Structure 1
Amino acid sequence: MARIKDVAAYAGVSVATVSRVLNDSPSVTEETRGRVYAAMAELSYVPNAVARSLRTEATKTLGLIIGDILNPFFAELARAVEDAARKAGYTVIIGNADERAEEQDHYVRTLLEQRVDGLLICPTAEVTPLVEEVARAGGPLVFLDRTLPGVDVPSVRVDGTDAIKELVGHLRKLGHRRIAFISGPARLSTGRERTDAFLVATAEHGLEIRPEYIEAGDFQSGSGRTLTARLLDLPEPPEAIFVGDNLMALGALNEIRARGLRIPDDVALASFDDVPWFPHIDPPITAISQPAAELGLRAVQVILDRLAGRPAESAVLPAVLVVRQSCGEERGAS
């Protein structure tokens, strides 16, 4: 197994520099940090924190790293993980990666130093050397909500393909033909999957989607508002806007309201991700609901299977369309 001095020699830096990289020191330049990470990957270097965590006594703690703690979906997911873990006799330590790879790695390293028994990660888009090393070392690791290409780790996620197809059919039945989609970032598996599902569904329903009707946001409300404004400013704006998560839907709603437009009379609105306040908006928002509670429960079951040496299989749960009034009502409906 490679040692820290081997990494230093390969990267052409001192052992102290490698140590500073491993401890997220701001004094290291990005160029040097990149060389060290590349050397770690090339030499299959396992940081001491990873190695020690694999040899330690059980602490009855689990680490959970989520994408964005301000997102209601992740808040509900974290609560479900905590509840399920507590019933199994475990305490959960939560880290908020804020959708940034460096923050994710900071929490991975910190949680391993804290000797957590297992890690549940909602991974960022980047496959970092540290996450690769944890996976390669065979540590108890489970991906939650998202996956990473080329990393062989059990995952628990939601498949919204059927629900998106049902939503597109619902919109078509209501007479909407010009349908826009504000997706999440393509670098995230959830962003790619929802965009692909939307394009397949519209094709199956015989709807031609113009390129300008597809926009990519960042799962934050600001991008939802900005991209909704761009869509509404088109010479022929869409009749319906489907938004790829609840925070971007909030931004879309703010922009529509600011323009004095009526939902669904002037523009229909639907969201991926249902949240408790959607039914209380006027009109209530049609949304695709993810089973966050079941997702958290299944993820804890998988990580406990890994800790017990039992086979740990990935799980895919279905999303469900919840039809409300924000897209309109079928003719003849009360």
Structure 2
Amino acid sequence: MTSIKDVALAAGVAPSSASRALTGHPNVSPELQARVQEAALRLNYRPNAVARSLRSTGTRTIGLVVSDLLNPFFTELARAVEDTSRQAGFSVIIGNADENPGQQDHYVRILLERQVDGLIVVPTAETSPLLHEAAARGDHLVLVDRPAADVDAPSVLADGTDAITELVDHLVQTGRQDLAIITGPDEAGSSRQRLAAFRDALARHGRGLPPSRVRHGDFRRDSGRIELAALMAGSSIPDAVFVANGSMALGAIEYLATHRDSAPPVPESLAVAVFDDLPWFSLLSPTLTAIEQPTAALGRRAVEMLLDRIAGREVSDDRLGCVLHLRESTRGSQGASR
């Protein structure tokens, strides 16, 4: 990065004179100001005002990097982070990693260069190198929603184990015999946790989860449609499907809506449930059973943890519970419900 010293050297002046010329000091001559500004333009220099403020009181700025801003869950999370930060006197700069570790590194780098006081990051499925570096260097960092076991930073996560167990109990009690799951990438910690909770809940009923009943999407809408289509194309069709995030659920709903003639009817032949409760799920017909994450609480807690780190206080991992909302899409074949 070009520094003020580089600009001063190119203009043939002292760094202090170059700094005064670029900040419009009244004692700088027009000729000197023009020479320094020309050198700054030629070297593509950007004055780092935030670095100057950091030396005294910090920038009062937090960086937030989410994995997919099109996912309504992350939109709500970002709103909670912004609201909580503003109440504490901080501004938020948001970057969208687009589920791409390279893009995640891009925003982490930019935010650190802007000298934000701390970072809140929803890790992509594959942890990016710069995230490792930031944690190892001791930058103020908090992970939210997805764990990253190889990144040394505190995290706040939604723990859906109990809610998933309750869902599986309900499906079994209402007569479902053949359960399947559409989960996210195996590299994503949240994906592994939800799959493990689903498998463990089935084991409590003496049931296994065959590989053919596990489909891995990418947490995005299209993969929900594709993976449900794959389940429906097999020689035997499951009678219950659990979709492990809201965006993939939208894709699954799209598949069912566009294949009404061939897809099994919901809930008579196919129960459908989702991890994430979007506002319109209760407006569908049939209404959709969903596990609600404490999204706003996650955002608030992430900010609280980050502010504690900035203040030099010890911070530990935190886990927040989820709530199951049973609706029409998981009624038993005989209309049983709980």
Q: Same fold (TM over 0.5)?
A: yes
Gaps of 5+ in 2: 1-47
What is the Cα deviation at residue 129 of structure 1?
3.1
Paired amino acid for 2:67: G
Percent identity, aligned pairs only, is 47
2:41 alignment counterpart: none
1:319 Cα deviation after fit: 1.2
1:72 maps to what in 2?
72
Structure 2 counterpart of 1:278, one-letter code: F
Whether 1:129 and 2:129 are equivalent positions in the alignment is yes
The corresponding residue for 1:238 is 238
Distance 1:326 1:308, change over 3 A: same
Q: TM-score, normalised by structure 2?
A: 0.80
Structure 1 counterpart of 2:131, one-letter code: V
Question: Is the CA contact (8 Å cut-off) linking 2:174 and 2:336 kept in structure 1?
Answer: no
Does the 8 Å CA contact 1:53/1:116 hold for their aligned counterparts?
no
Describe the SS at the equivalent of 2:279.
coil
Task: Measure, in 2, the Cα distance between the counterparts of 1:139 and 1:53.
Answer: 18
Structure with the greater alpha carbon radius of gyration: 2
Distance 2:53 2:143 in 1: 18
> CA offset at residue 253 of structure 1?
1.2
Residue 256 of structure 1: CA displacement?
Answer: 1.5
Q: Tell me the secondary structure at the aligned position of residue 277 of structure 1.
A: helix
Aligned-pair CA distance for 1:166: 0.6
- Cα deviation, 1:166-191, whole Å, max 9, x if unaligned, reads 10001011100111100110111011
* AA matched with 1:258: T
C-alpha contact 2:125 2:185 (8 A) present in aligned 1: no
Q: TM-score, normalised by structure 1?
A: 0.81
Q: In the alignment, residue 168 of structure 1 is paired with which amino acid? A: V
1:18-41 CA-to-partner distances (Å, cap 9, x unmatched) read xxxxxxxxxxxxxxxxxxxxxxxx
Note the 1:24-39 alignment, pairs <5 A. none
- Matched residue SS, 1:126: coil
Relative distance call for 1:302 and 1:217 in structure 2 (3 A) is: same
1:332 is displaced (CA, Å) by 6.3
What corresponds to 1:168 in structure 2?
Answer: 168
Counterpart CA distance in 2 for 1:333 and 1:101 is 43
Which amino acid in structure 1 is aligned with residue 211 of structure 2? P
- Quick one: distance in 1 between partners of 2:55 and 2:68? 30
The AA in structure 1 aligned to 2:132 is: E
Deviation at 1:205, TM superposition (A): 1.7
Alpha-carbon shift at residue 128 of structure 1 (Å): 3.2
- How big is the shift at 1:307? 0.8
Of 151-160 and 129-138, more deviation after overlay is shown by 129-138
Secondary structure, aligned partner of 2:290: strand
Q: How far apart, in 2, do the equivalents of 1:122 and 1:232 lie? A: 32
| Matched AA of 1:85 | S
Native 8 Å contact 2:104 2:128 kept in 1: no
Residues 254 and 128 of structure 1: CA distance in aligned 2, closer, same or farther (over 3 Å): closer
Alignment match, 2:322:
319
Q: Who is 1:215 aligned against?
A: 215
- 1:306 has 2:336 as partner: no
CA 1:61/1:214 → structure 2, altered by over 3 Å: closer, same or farther? same
**Matching of residues 51-200 of structure 1 within 5 Å:** 56-57=55-56, 58-200=58-200
- Measure the CA separation in 1 of the matches of 2:337 and 2:190: 34
Deviation at 1:112, TM superposition (A): 1.1
Which amino acid is 1:280 matched to?
L
